[in-house]
Every structure is written in C-alpha cells, then in structure tokens.
Amino acid sequence: MLRGVRGAITIEENTESVIVEATKRMMDELISLNELEADKVASVFISVTEEIDAAFPAKALRLLDGWTYVPVMCMREIPVVGSLENCIRVMVHVNTDKNQEDIHHVYLEKAMVLRPDLNA
C-alpha cells in the first residue's frame, strides 16, 4: 500500500548550508519515526516558499545512506498571502503496511503551527 508521510520545517537563513541541514534534520526524523527504508520509497516531493532560493533541499537526501536512487523533485509552494514563510515541506510516498493513523508526520520549528493536531 502506498502512503504519504508529511513533514515541514522552517529556516532562519536562506543559505545552502542552512537549507540542506534543516532538510536533513526533518528527513532524519521522518525516517526514524516511520522506520522508512529507501528501497520502499516511491518518490519524494519537496516544496519551498518563494524566499528560499539558495539551494535545492533535495541535496540533503543525497547525504542519506541508501537514498541515491530515490526520485526527488523540488518545487515552489503557492505564495498564499499570510502563509508561513521560510518553510520547507516534504511529501514522502512510501510503500508500507502501516495504517494511516500509524504514520508519524513531522513538523519542526515554526512549521508546528501548520498541523498542531499532529504535534500533541
């Protein structure tokens, strides 16, 4: 069965090192909490808000052991007025036997406001 695992994190500085480090931190937590195995991941979509342009966050996934061949795509988030700024979001599509309610989504830093119901 294919499931989506969501995550988001905000950054304080638009630099390559900060973008890659924050994305890796978010992915490390998603992987750990959901026991994700790269060969069971179908694809990963990463979006960023429009002020993030110093690096592709997908670069962080190339730092993860075994994730070399996982298809990753970066895109820009829709610029909705009043939405959370400096935010990196991820959607991991994984083949798993877990039920929807057993998936652990990760919202870090200021991104916790996006889904406070999942941060309890």
- pTM of the predicted protein model: 0.95
> How confident is the model over 3-22, as a mean pLDDT?
98
Which candidate in 16, 35, 51, 62 is catalytic?
A: 62
- 89 is an annotated ligand-binding site residue: yes
Residue 25 is among the residues annotated as catalytic for this protein = no
- 107 is an annotated ligand-binding site residue: yes
Number of domains in the chain: 1
Domain extent at residue 54:
2-114
User: Is residue 120 one of the residues assigned to a domain?
Assistant: no
Share of the chain above pLDDT 90, in %: 95
- In this predicted structure, the answer to whether residue 28 has a pLDDT above a threshold of 90 is yes
User: Is residue 23 one of the residues assigned to a domain?
Assistant: yes
User: Is residue 83 one of the residues assigned to a domain?
Assistant: yes
Residue 6 is among the residues annotated as catalytic for this protein = yes
Beta bridge partners of 86: none
The structure tokens listed for 89 are: 């979001």
Beta bridge partners of 93: 4, 43
> How confident is the model over 21-34, as a mean pLDDT?
98
CA angle 92–95–97, rounded 5-degree value: 120
Q: Which is nearest to 7 in space by CA: 119, 76, 108?
A: 108
- In this predicted structure, the answer to whether residue 84 has a pLDDT above a threshold of 60 is yes
User: Is residue 119 one of the residues assigned to a domain?
Assistant: no
> How confident is the model over 87-116, as a mean pLDDT?
96
CATH number, domain at 81? 3.30.1330.40
User: Is residue 79 one of the residues assigned to a domain?
Assistant: yes
DSSP symbol at 84: P
The structure tokens listed for 61 are: 């996934």
- In this predicted structure, the answer to whether residue 120 has a pLDDT above a threshold of 60 is no
Rounded alpha-carbon distances, angstroms, from residue 55 to 21, 45, 58, 119:
11, 15, 9, 28
Q: Which is nearest to 27 in space by CA: 36, 18, 17?
A: 36
Residue 50 is among the residues annotated as catalytic for this protein = no
- 76 is an annotated ligand-binding site residue: no
